Amino acid sequence: MPLVRIDLVRGRSTEAVKAIAEAVQRSLVDVLKVPERDRFQIVTQHEPDEIVALDAGLGFQRTSGTVIVHIFTQRGRGTEDKQRLYQALASRLAEAGVDGTDLFISYFENGPDDWSFADGRAQYVQGDLPVPGS
């Protein structure tokens, strides 16, 4: 059950934004085996000066097409799965018009007690939902 935040610079068409969001979801479904309807995304568009994403000293130049993807999900996936996810995201987002150097991915893990889907209840803890990977 990932919660995904997608931050990008304002100016893309509605279709392009939808293609980016769909590319992220397809990557999660295909690589992490997330169920199709397990889709929780927040897409936020920013003015060009509101996203600063340098190269961390790696020597490449980002453009105004920067896309930052934050993935919040249950812990338990290995490094190989994460690497495959990063590659899938880069590939699918390239198809949606995002250059690889403009993609920044942040992956956060937490546990079952860190989620409430509705009504102020922890559905994983209370047994309403199976804990992914268990």
Q: Detail the DSSP E strand segments found in the chain.
A: 3-9, 40-46, 67-74, 103-110
For the stretch 6-63, pLDDT in tens is 999 999 999 999 999 999 999 999 999 999 999 999 999 999 999 999 998 999 999 9
| Choice among 2, 48, 130, 132 that is catalytic | 2
Cross-sheet strand order for the sheet of 3-9: 40-46, 3-9, 67-74, 103-110
Residues contacting residue 51 through CB under 8 Å, at least 6 positions apart? 7, 8, 9, 66, 68
For the stretch 59-110, pLDDT in tens is 999 999 999 999 999 998 999 999 999 999 999 999 999 999 999 999 999 9
pLDDT at residue number 54:
92
Q: How far apart are CA 71 and CA 107, in angstroms?
A: 5
Is 35 an active-site residue?
no
Q: Confidence band (pLDDT; 50, 70, 90) for 134? A: low
Q: Which domains does the chain have, with CATH numbers?
A: 3-114 (3.30.429.10)
